[in-house]
Amino acid sequence: MKDFIIKIALSIRNAISKKVTYLINRFYLKEFVIKFALSVLNIINKKATYLIDKFNNIIDKPDLEKYKKLSPIDDMENGDEYIDALDWAIKHKDIKNIAITAPYGAGKSSVIKTYVKKHPSLKYTFISMATFNSSEGKSQDDGEKEEIPLEKIENVILKQFFYKVKKNMLPQSRYNKIEKMSYKYIFAWIFCINVFCSIGSVLVFPDVLREKVINCINFLIDLGIPEFWTHVIIPCLVLLEMIILASIIKQGMIKLKLKEIKLFSNATLGSEAIDEKSIFNKNIDEILYFFEATGYEVVFFEDLDRLENNDIFIELRDLNFIINNYEGLEKPVKFVYAVKDELFHNKEERTKFFDYIIPVVPIINASNSEDVFLKEFENNAECNISKEYIKDVAPFVSDMRVLYNIFNEFKIYKRTLKDSDSIKLVDEKMLSLIIFKNLYPKDFAELQNEQDEGIVKQAFKDKQSFIEKRTEKIREDINELEEQIILVKEDCLKSTKEIKYAFCGHLVDWKGSVRRIERYNGYRNYLYIIEEILDDNFNLKDIYEDKSIYTIYYANSSYDNKRKDINSNELKVLLESYAKRWTALKLLEDKKKEGIHQDLEELNKQLQNISILSLKELIDRNDVKEVLSDNVRSNKVLVFMLRYGYINEDYSMYINYFKGDSITKDDMNFILNIRNREVQSFDYKLTRLRGIVDRLNIRDFKQKEVYNFYLLEYLLSNSSKEIDKNKLDNFIQQLADEEKESWSFIDAFVRKNNNRKKFINLLALKWENMWIFLTEKAALTYNRQIEYFKWLCESLKVEELLNLNKDKAFEQFFEENEDILIQLKDVNINYLEKIIEKLEIHFYKLNIAGVDKKLLDFVFDNNYYNINKYMIDTILVYKNSEITESDLNRKNYTMIMTSGYDCLIDNVFANIEEYVKEVILSNDNNYDDEKYILVLMIKCSDDMDLVEKIIVHEIFKLKNISVCENKYWLLLLKHRKINANFENVIQYWKQFSENGLDEALIDFLSTECDAILNSDRSFVEEKFIKDLSFSDIDNNIFEKYISYVRLIFNDLELDFASMNQEKLKILIQNKYIPLNKECFDKIKDVSVEMATLYILSDKDNFIDNIEIFQIDEDIFNNLLEETGRTDKVFCQKIVNYYGKNFMNENLIRAIFNMNITLTKDLFKIVFDEIDNKLKLTLLVRHLNLFNADELEKIFSKMDGEYKELSNREKRRDIHLPINSKNERLCIYLQKINYISNKNIYDKEQLLFRIKVNKQQR
């Protein structure tokens, strides 16, 4: 229904407008007529619009809950007790001054409003005295307020009394008021006057009036207006004249004030001026008249306590007393004061001044404001405010009116700014600014007006100042690290010890080696010995102390204790250069090169991050005292909002309404700074970027001052226009100049930017040396280099990327980093394949965990890898995950040959030498299968040195040497790669030992002796033993073989003279040479010892054929010596056979020592040769050889009593000493009846009684 009525009204208005326009065009009215018509039309249009709006308001009743009013309410909840108390006090006849006490915003006025509403018959008036601390511009609680003069307060109260009632209620009052005169009233008077004048003119000047009317009609006709319409226009013009005159009169009367009319020379008529210096006292009659005429019973005073002038309460109490004592009043007048509790400072003042006090419990304070906030925001679907946020901010708001105003302003701002600039606004940030606005209106106004001295602006200036200081410190650290890296690269000395050695050498002018350094500072000596100085933890700087004397003790080739004295200044100059180099090298040794680069990368990251950190993040990561100035920190609310990010760098979006391409003050400052060449931070906040771009010239983008993250990001997203493209090109071109500032901007920008792909693309196309810079000059860690390479891959075509490959930098990057494919797993596989193919990359080491199978197959199938142990192992495990690490290490080549992966096998065959060198030769623990080893040897047969290395590094032994070609036999034998047995030895000997055993075989026989001796000896031939006998093999080894084989030479045509005597001895001892005269004669010519040994080797055969062997005295003596104690029979035989030829003292001694039994012939020879002392011994040993007659002859050759035994012609006694020999002799002689008997003559002598054998006689 509403919409229908509105449509009808609009249709009527439009129809009238169209009709008037038609008439104007139809009759070609003059210009002033047209203007007049248009004015009338405009009035009609406005009136129609007003009526439509009024109609809308009638139909659409306002949403009373849409906003919160700040004025007191008249339906207070939980206020019954207050109302009852106030009603009782007002009705009590003795109570005249009533106080309603509570803090500001507690609901005092609401109590009064509710009371008045519930008592409609009550006659009352309100006096409100609100004031504001305009001098400070802060909330009333923040500072001291100026005291307002009492006269001014009284004047305001008096005006509120009198200007509330109509003038006709106080006709006798001296206070005159201007009353409203309605437009209709003025128009009626003007109409009557016009009618009166018209009638008078007709009556007095009829002809003149008629003439004027006719002239007007003719004038209009001359203008082309038909006569009919002239009769319409003239009345209309008269009517318009009256309307205009009425308007002029109405406006003029407002400003017109009649002060006085001078009637006569000494008399004036006018209004009395009020003396404002004595208000209550001078106007007490007016005040009494006011209450007498109006009949007011109660006066409610509000906010008098805000005036900070308590004298007014004294005046009002006095006024109340006068009023209530005035007899002309029918009812008493009560004064009710709404004041704060702390108005009076002690209990006596409060209770003495007021007749009754009503306390009001505050509806809201800092402790319960959270509940009120939640009530207003929690169920409001329009707002996205969290409970946590409300809990945080509620304690700062303790006034209900402030809270309601926050709610109202928040809604207005939100609805106004919600679609502004298509920017997503956060409700909590907006509400935070509204809270700040209500608590600190002056500060907010300064912020909104973009005044630099505002406290919020100061906070962000503090942020920038902190960033600049921290940036400077980080840059110093970066420069120090970079200098140290350069120092290390350029330094010819590569360790801290070398630096210290050089320093010490320099101290003594390179004339010797320093032993110790003594420092004397005037009080005591400090000693530094060279070992202490060279210690890794000793800092060279510790040596130096100002104003000290140094003595250097050193040694050279001439002296061990030379000395040199230097002062502290000389040492300082020398120490500065060395200490700096030492510090750089020490850092490198402690952290290694990658560690330093990581530190440098971390510092660069800090440098980039700090410029893009928000103020909230800076406060979180640092002490707030370091970030914010004292002035800002004094505002606790602001610090809270900043700390939690409720007020941040984008605050301008929440307090300003932007339209079109307008820019903020900060935006304009950015432009001015560029043109003034003033450097700004990269993250300088820009708001209206379209306007900024349009205002900047192309030449501005050739300056480094234009470096700004927001600006570049906008250009990357909005460069469809040709001029924007040119600006962006200039920006990018400048970034590619490899200067430090440009790189800092690039590295920081790519971390946060959403248009990184386009940015990297444009930058790479402009910067051919980009990758060289990233890897060599930018001091990036490996992970950061990977990050940049990924960005290049996602931003460039392969051909474009390869344009950056200067000095084979990409090949080096791929081949040096084993996890490169893992790091690049997010890059398109086909893209990577093209890169690998185009660059012909050969991976030296590759970690494949998590790498796509398709990519790995491409790499391995196309041989994009180096032949080395790591890569071979990687491929084998990739193809067969069941292969063990042990197999890879011990049987690598076997695993390749059994893998079935032809691509790998073919690649290894094609690069067999490289494979052998990189894999086989790099491992001393290869256990490949025998057949594959032989294949490998054949593959490398063109290089026998390489074959030998294969044989050395493979752990194997051929069971039979004949399974491979004989050209490898020497190497196999040399390196013990055949089984140690006689079969292999004899095969090799037959193949290579035409002239005897070669050195390799001898060595093999020597080292593998034990193993060979445990093998089958049936393969051994007599000729091999003979060759072995004439070889240079160690005699001990030779003896082992001879003693094991046990052969007997059949062919004795041997040159014993040329044979090693020790080997000959071994052969003889092991009976390889049978005993015969021919061999004996040859061996006898070799040496007596060999001949002796030869005889002893077969003693039985020698004794049996003793007559054929001719030996000399030396051989005879050696035989006696060798067998004397071991073979008495042999000795006895050779002595009896050869003794007569070689009789001498040695032989006689041997006969006696060995107790040899001699033949009679030899006995006689020996008996004749020996001394008398030995004859008895020899005789006793051989008694059995002789009879009595023979003994008689023998005794005749002996001396003493024994010779007496030879005389047997008469009986006689012969006395001999008692001993074993004599006893044996006596027994034998008695046995053969050579003596008759024997007796013991005494204890020491035997008595022989000889009787003569008569037969013998």
DSSP string, 371-421: HHHHHHHTT-TT----HHHHHHHGGG---HHHHHHHHHHHHHHHHHHTTGG
Alpha helices in 656-708 (DSSP H): 665-675, 689-695
In the structure encoding, which two tokens stand for residue 982, read together? 């006689």
Q: Which helix (H) or strand (E) holds 39?
A: helix 31-59
Q: Terminus-to-terminus CA distance in the chain, angstroms?
A: 201
pLDDT at residue 1001, as a whole number: 85
The pLDDT, as a whole number, for residue 8 is 59
pTM above 0.85, yes or no: no
pLDDT at residue 133, rounded to an integer: 46
| Structure confidence at residue 835 (pLDDT) | 92
Q: Is 562 helix (H, G, I), strand (E, B) or coil?
A: strand
Same-domain check for residues 602 and 484: yes
Q: Assess whether 54 and 97 both reside in one domain.
A: no
Q: Are residues 594 and 539 in the same domain?
A: yes
* 263 found inside a domain: no
Q: Give domain status of residue 201, yes or no.
A: no
What is the model's pLDDT at position 1017? Answer: 84
The residues of the chain scoring below 50 in pLDDT are: 1-2, 23-24, 26-32, 58-64, 132-143, 254-277, 420-422, 490, 660, 1251-1257
Please state the domain count of the chain.
Answer: 5
Beta strand 356-359 pairing with 97-101:
parallel
Integer CA distances (angstroms), 285 to 173, 241, 292, 749, in order: 10, 48, 10, 80
- Which tens digits make up the pLDDT trace of 1159-1217? 877 787 777 778 777 777 778 788 888 888 788 888 888 887 778 777 777 766 777 77
3-state secondary structure of 157: helix
- 301 in a domain, yes or no? yes
pLDDT of residue 132: 46
Q: What is the distance between the alpha carbons of residues 1047 and 1026, in angstroms, rounded to a whole number? A: 10
Q: Are 1028 and 996 in contact (CB under 8 A)?
A: no
569 plus 715 within the same structural domain: no
Tell me how far apart the alpha carbons of residues 837 and 859 are, in angstroms, rounded to a whole number.
Answer: 9
Residue 1207 lies in a domain: yes
Q: Is the same domain home to 496 and 588? A: yes
On whether the CB atoms of residues 147 and 340 are closer than 8 A, the answer is: no
- Same domain (yes/no): 42, 102: no
Residues 27 and 116 in one domain: no
Strand order in the sheet with 124-128: 124-128, 298-302, 334-339, 97-101, 356-359
pLDDT value for 271:
44
Minimal CA–CA distance to 162: which of 271, 256, 327, 293?
293
Query: Based on the domain organization, do 527 and 559 belong to the same domain?
Result: yes
Q: Token pair for residue 531?
A: 């070992």
Q: Residue 954 forms beta bridges with which residues?
A: 926
Q: Is residue 759 part of a domain?
A: yes
Domain that holds residue 726: 660-767
Q: What is the pLDDT of residue 1082?
A: 80
Alpha-carbon distances, residue 995 vs 688, 1028, 1062 (angstroms): 104, 11, 21
Strand partners, 798: none
In a domain, residue 193? The reply is: no
Dist CA 860 CA 871 (whole Å): 10
The b-or-e profile of 908-926 (16+ CB within 10 A means b, else e) is beeebeebbebbbeebeeb
CA dist 41 and 16 (Å) reads 8
The predicted structure's pLDDT at residue 902: 92
Q: Let me know whether 603 and 668 are in one domain.
A: no
Same domain, 46 and 87: no
Q: 669 and 720: one domain?
A: yes
pLDDT, residue 857, reads 92
Q: Is residue 120 part of a domain?
A: yes
Residue at 67 is within a domain = no
CATH number for the domain harbouring residue 128: 3.40.50.300
- Of 435, 402, 385, 427, nearest in space to 636 by CA: 435
513 and 601 fall within a common domain: yes
Amino acid found at 899: S
